[in-house]
Amino acid sequence: MRIVGLRLQPSVARLLAEILEGAGYVETASKIAAAIEQRITTEAPLTLADHEAIVAALEPDCPATLLRLRQELLEELRRVRRITGG
């Protein structure tokens, strides 16, 4: 699966889903788990709110395998805020 263009191996995506669920972002975790199960190889069907949830869940202690994803999501969120004035 891909998130913001980055390819995630299934084991890394599962780790992300576990972190999200543990942080209380169950809906986003479920979307990622479903994408893994469906073996989606393209961009995962996530919303901007899901991207914000991922950033928030990874904030306290981001594993090295997810650091680049967090950085890319932060850049995306900055671009969106700059474009929308939010």
How far apart, in whole angstroms, are the C-alpha atoms of residue 3 and residue 75? 13
Whole-prediction pTM: 0.92
Kindly tell me if the per-residue pLDDT of 86 is higher than 80. Answer: no
| Contact residues for 51 (Cβ-Cβ < 8 A; gap 6+) | 3, 4, 73, 76, 77
Reported as a single tens digit per residue, the pLDDT across 49-72 is: 999 999 999 998 899 999 999 999
DSSP per-residue string spanning 43-59: B----HHHHHHHHHHHS
